[in-house]
Amino acid sequence: MIDTLMQYKFLQNAVISAILASIACGIIGPVIIEKRLVMMSGGIAHTAFGGIGLGFLLGIEPIIGAILVTLGAAMGVVAIKRKTSVNTDIPIGIFWAAGMSLGILFIALSPGYPPDMNSYLFGDILMVSRDNLYIILVLDLLIVFTVIALFHPIKAYLFDEEFSTVIGIKTALIEILLFALIALTVVVVIHVIGIILIMALLTAPPAIARMFTHDLKRVMLYSILLGAFFTLSGLWISYVLNIPSGAAIALFISLVYGAVSGIRVLAQRKR
């Protein structure tokens, strides 16, 4: 595989985008699981499909459409989170379906032959172009910079929002920023694993990482490494078995997560 990697540009792009996706997911994944935002993030992720549809309809780069729409969706979710006191799952669930449906509607309205949407839904890491790579790189840098710059207030917000507000931190702003970063992360990951499979790469690495450390910084670091391991292994599996990369990565993640959890339960029982 190494030889072919050196030979083919598209494979290089695939490897680079896998690593970039792992970095974004490794940083934002812990935010999502510690703040219990899995459902909300799922909602944001699925509206990306609407954004891609919009991109095709307007004749712009679909990824740009996805950035705009997921950012809008993230702000919508923040609004739902603040206004709904009881059960946010219901409005988020509806949001989720509406986002997907908009994508289908926009594609149907687009002139000409309908594009192949499978690569967006399930990921096609081998389709990452140089231009895509640059967009992903910029988004990644934005995510990394923001989280490093605001690490302490972000940690405070995640751990205890009310206390943070009382000591004067603008938690509302931190929240908006984090949701925007979730939206950008979704966009970074679309090509690697696809809209439908994103949640696997966002949740499993931090879930495994936090079994081994009690330090948020390390949870993020380990999540990045685990994410890179998962995506690159998945890529290799898809290459060897000739199956779609998104499915290969997501299945590999599920397998490892199941195994690690199982071993942990057994180990605890022994004690």
Partner 1 sequence: MNSNTKEIGKIGLYEDDSDAIENAIEVDNLTVYYQRVCALSNVSLRVKDREFLGIIGPNGGGKSTLLKAILGLVTPYSGDIRIFGKSPKKAHGIMGYVPQFTSFHRDFPISVEETVLMGRLSGKIPMFHKYTKEDIDITHTLMEKLEIYHLRNRQIGQLSGGQFQRALIARALTTRPRILLLDEPTASLDTEAKSHIYSILVELNQDMTIIMVTHDMGAISTHVESLACLNRELFYHGRSELSEDLINAIHGCPVDIIAHGTIPHRVLREHHGNGGTSHD
Contacts with partner 1, residue ranges (CB under 8 A): 30, 34, 36, 85, 148-153, 155-156, 158-160, 162-170, 173-174, 210, 213-216, 218-219
Closer residue to partner 1 in complex, CB, 130/170? 170
CB of 147 to partner 1, least distance (A): 12
CB of 62 to partner 1, least distance (A): 33
CB of 201 to partner 1, least distance (A): 19
Nearest CA to 253 out of 211, 213, 203, 212 is that of 203
Closer residue to partner 1 in complex, CB, 177/189? 177
Nearest CA to 67 out of 245, 158, 231, 187 is that of 187
Closer residue to partner 1 in complex, CB, 38/58? 38
CB of 210 to partner 1, least distance (A): 6
Q: What residues contact 7, with CB distance under 8 A and at least 6 apart?
A: none
Closer residue to partner 1 in complex, CB, 3/162? 162
Report d(CA 197, CA 136) in Å as an integer: 18
Closer residue to partner 1 in complex, CB, 174/197? 174
Show contacts of 260-266: CB within 8 Å, 24+ apart. 260/208, 260/211, 264/211
Nearest CA to 134 out of 193, 58, 69, 187 is that of 187
**Which residue is it, tokens 């004067």?**
168
Closer residue to partner 1 in complex, CB, 125/158? 158
| Residue pair 125/235 in contact by the 8 Å Cβ criterion | yes
What's the sign of the alpha-carbon dihedral 13, 19, 24, 29?
Answer: positive
CB of 178 to partner 1, least distance (A): 12
Closer residue to partner 1 in complex, CB, 115/153? 153
| Helix extents (H) in 84-150 | 89-109, 118-122, 130-149
**Which residue is it, tokens 């990306």?**
48
CB of 42 to partner 1, least distance (A): 20
Q: What is the DSSP letter of 60?
A: S
CB of 188 to partner 1, least distance (A): 23
Structure tokens at 159: 């751990």
